[in-house]
Structure 1
């Protein structure tokens, strides 16, 4: 059985709740991803996405240097345990329509698992593809 700990990334860039959204955007640019965990210390308190920044800040013509991550992040974050089976992780991503899931142990973030991490395990390519297709579906 392959578990999340076996495939997750443990070197995760995060931003603080009071950081300007420009900091989160720079992390997304540097890491080439569309979301960043928002943490107080090692505790996940939110996730901020490129879409959050565009809708809350750019589209409203606000100054991106003065809007903070906590102003536009999602605070109801879906997380998983590092000991979770990767099949279950793929199911959770599909069910909640998310591409990246913070991995939390004893209340502290220890990594992140992405849809790409699931796809690197050959036997799980179909599951990752299925999860991604569900994630990409529009909700009506």
Structure 2
């Protein structure tokens, strides 16, 4: 079974974008738009302090009437961040994301942030694995 480490190695970019909690929501949205990502990890003194996503902005910002200009990320970020390790299986991640309604999982190894796994990464990997299996079965049926 594939692991988180396998997916991280296969990702086009290994970049993990972080900001600090004192950044304004508007600046965080600009970074998300510029980097074409749906979430940013929040670090404070080198440690993971939270995550802010487009969902956080919609639910804790816009719907509560907060201004993206005058609101700091700390006011809308999720602080109870669920993380995974590189050794965990893709199936574990899929289950965790489904059960907890998550779209992003920070990857922590020995206390250090080493990556970010998105639901898109999981879907892409799962589809590639299924395509490979189909090809193998077709070759087997054809006797190749």
Instruction: Indicate whether the TM-score tops 0.5.
Output: yes
Determine which of 15, 26, 29 is the counterpart of 1:11. Answer: 15
Q: Which residue matches 1:23?
A: 27
Decide which structure has greater helix share. 2
2:129 is aligned with 1:123: yes
Q: Which residue matches 1:134?
A: none
Give the CA RMSD over aligned residues: 2.0
TM-aligned CA deviation for residue 30 of structure 1 = 1.8
CA distance in 2, matches of 1:42, 1:5: 22
Matched residue SS, 1:120? helix
What are the ranges of 5 or more consecutive residues in structure 2 without an aligned counterpart?
132-144
2:98 is aligned with 1:94: yes
Aligned pairs for 1:47-66 within 5 A: 47-66=51-70
> Following superposition, which runs of at least 4 residues in structure 1 exceed 6 angstroms of deviation?
none
2:32 is aligned with 1:32: no
**Structure having the higher Rg:** 2
Contact 1:5-1:82 at 8 Å conserved across structures = yes
Query: How many corresponding residue pairs?
Result: 125
TM-aligned CA deviation for residue 47 of structure 1 = 1.1
TM-score of the pair, normalised by structure 1: 0.78
Q: Which residue matches 1:2?
A: 2
What are the ranges of 5 or more consecutive residues in structure 1 without an aligned counterpart?
126-140
Over 3 Å counting, the alpha-carbon distance change for 1:124 and 1:72 in structure 2 is farther
